């Protein structure tokens, strides 16, 4: 069988293949009212289509642990029980298709309170359901973003507790994998990088201090998440800065720490924390970062970033550069990518009975 379509077991959760869906915000939840932050028919159809298409693991879009942790007013959340019930029908459907449901828990920090991307993604104020963003330091992301309110130590502790509470709700909602979002310039990434973290207390300065908040979140999530189910951590392996940012050397060092704190897989991406940087994109451009973590640590990894072709994905896994591939835009274009690729490579995925004529 194709390596890409062999199962992968993490703790006691078995994912049927190595074709996974990366979190991609849909900005389609209600922005106000009792269903704020709850998934709706769009999300059921969106995730359901990729499950019927054979995707082994689907990690839902960034799901905020608090209202002010959303990237936009239209993001999903897991801060109340109404949201839990709405997620249940999605996880039930994914499981019924043989797909493992995962959720990415997130806090946007200084990059919060923005408009939907197809409307420009600019920061918004209270008149458009926006709010004042929070951050490790009073340093704006760029010239158009507001200066965030610096978090107090007490408020940091509250956010750690919010991650734990969201993880409890995620389990109740039927998720089998939880991912802590520490990438793309959102709050945890902001603490990790000296580019955005200018604190002088126990949460800033040294590597140990800058990683403290992330590890506190991981410990809090791991404590409430079932021992037999995996916890992932998404990281930006580099800020793509020549000086004064988070580096791939930091990522390798941090991967050892994350493994010691109970993380089961590192989901390796890059960038998002520094505005105006040049990123040399191209097919599989982030795969070398995942490959280095896998080569230098004992932590399984997933790779993401312009992975679009069957042979390309197969090679990444077969060569041991990553344990799985995370697909994004390609799955937006083609929800049945996994099933079609399995046919091309001689692998197998579950085909729903109503689709038997497609085999």
Q: Is 143 exposed, middle or buried (0-12, 13-18, 19+ CB in 10 A)?
A: exposed
Give residues with Cβ within 8 angstroms of 264, minimum separation 6.
10, 11, 230, 231, 232, 299, 300
> Given 27, 47, 186, 203, which residue is catalytic?
186
Q: Is 139 exposed, middle or buried (0-12, 13-18, 19+ CB in 10 A)?
A: middle
CB-facing half-sphere around the CA of 28: CA atoms within 13 A: 14
Contact 100, 51 (CB under 8 A): no
Other Cβ atoms closer than 10 A to 240? 18
Q: CA-to-CA distance for 84 and 65, rounded, in angstroms?
A: 12
Q: CA-to-CA distance for 236 and 26, rounded, in angstroms?
A: 21
Q: CA-to-CA distance for 328 and 24, rounded, in angstroms?
A: 7
207 as an active site residue: the answer is no
**Tokens in use for 43?**
């999300």
Q: CA-to-CA distance for 6 and 316, rounded, in angstroms?
A: 14
Contact 197, 191 (CB under 8 A): yes
Question: Dihedral, CA atoms, 13, 223, 262, 214, nearest 10 degrees?
Answer: 120
For the chain, the maximum distance between any two Cα atoms, rounded to a whole number of angstroms, is 63
**Which residues carry out catalysis?**
186
């Amino acid at each position: 069988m194709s390596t890409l379509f062999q199962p992968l077991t993490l703790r006691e959760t078995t994912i049927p293949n190595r074709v996974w869906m990366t979190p991609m915000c849909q900005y389609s939840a209600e922005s106000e009212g009792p269903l704020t932050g709850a998934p709706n028919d769009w999300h059921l159809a969106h995730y359901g289509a990729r499950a019927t298409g054979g995707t082994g693991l689907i990690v839902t879009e960034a799901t905020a642990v608090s209202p002010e942790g959303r990237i936009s007013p239209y993001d999903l959340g897991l801060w109340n029980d109404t949201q839990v019930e709405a997620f249940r029908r999605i996880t039930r459907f994914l499981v019924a298709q043989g797909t493992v449901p995962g959720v990415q828990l997130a806090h946007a920090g200084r990059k919060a309170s923005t408009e939907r991307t197809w409307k420009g993604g600019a920061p918004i104020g209270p008149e458009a359901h926006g709010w004042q963003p929070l951050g490790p330091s009073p340093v704006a992301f760029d010239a158009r973003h507001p200066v965030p309110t610096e978090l107090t130590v007490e408020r940091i502790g509250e956010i750690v507790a919010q991650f734990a509470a969201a993880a409890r709700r995620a389990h109740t909602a039927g998720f089998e994998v939880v991912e802590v979002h520490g990438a793309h310039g959102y709050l945890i990434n902001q603490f990790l990088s000296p580019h955005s973290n200018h604190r002088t207390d126990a949460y800033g300065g040294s590597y140990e201090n800058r990683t403290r908040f992330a590890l506190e979140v991981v410990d809090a999530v791991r404590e409430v998440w079932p021992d037999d189910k995996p916890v992932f951590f998404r990281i930006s392996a580099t800020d793509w800065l020549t000086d004064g940012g988070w580096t791939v050397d930091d990522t390798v060092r941090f991967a050892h720490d994350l493994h010691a704190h109970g993380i089961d897989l590192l989901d390796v991406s890059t960038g998002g924390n520094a505005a105006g940087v040049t990123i040399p994109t191209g097919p599989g451009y982030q795969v070398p970062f995942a490959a280095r973590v896998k080569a230098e640590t004992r932590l399984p990894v997933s790779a993401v970033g312009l992975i679009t072709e069957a042979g390309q994905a197969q090679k990444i896994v077969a060569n041991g550069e990553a344990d799985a591939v995370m697909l994004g835009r390609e799955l937006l274009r083609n929800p049945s990518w996994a099933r079609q690729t399995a046919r091309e490579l001689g692998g197998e995925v579950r085909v729903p009975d109503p689709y038997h004529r497609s085999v």
